[in-house]
Amino acid sequence: MIALSSDHAGYPLKEEIRAYLEASGIEYKDCGAFGTASVDYPVQAKKACDLVADGTCGMAILCCGTGVGMSMAANKIKGIRAACCTDYFSAKFTRLHNDANVLCLGARVLGAGAAIELVNVFLNTPFEGGERHRRRVDLMMALENE
Ligand code: RB5
């Protein structure tokens, strides 16, 4: 199950991604926004990230204007490893090496076609695992308690 969320700026891209998930038979929970009326990205990030943190959803996809605000907000939430990606390599390797569980995308940065390629590789790439990547992810998550 994928949690989806956006602010007003990310709404058009979120809708493109929602249509892609729907067409691909991938289950999702849509946390809004449900239109282009102004909403605050930290509020929207929390709605989706809470579903990841409590285990309801395995991953989340967040869209705002740049993807950056969403990623900053998401990374404040315990258990979240959010990556703001604009390129295929980063979207792939943040799964392989960082075990990222949230993908943040900028609707004012990326066209829908490129964004959906990033969604696709992010959702379909497993964590590589292995001692060194697990150690680094554990070290990263321990920073939450400092
Ligand atoms: C909204 O105008 C914009 O600031 C927001 O979508 C996002 O890009 C923030 O990081």
For the stretch 65-109, pLDDT in tens is: 999 999 999 999 999 999 999 999 999 999 999 999 999 999 999
Residue nearest to atom 8 of ligand 1 (CA): 65
What residues make up the domain containing 46?
2-145
Confidence band of 44 (pLDDT split at 50, 70, 90): very high
Q: For the chain, what is the domain count?
A: 1
Residue 30: which of 18, 39, 13, 45 has the closest Cα?
A: 18
CATH number of domain containing 16: 3.40.1400.10
Atom in ligand 1 nearest the alpha carbon of residue 72: 10
Give the residue numbers annotated as catalytic, written as ranges. 64, 97
Q: CB-based contacts of 60: which residues, under 8 Å, 6+ apart?
A: 2, 3, 4, 5, 48, 49, 51, 52, 74, 82, 101, 102, 103
Residue 25 CA to ligand 1 center (angstroms) comes to 30
Residue 80 CA to ligand 1 center (angstroms) comes to 20
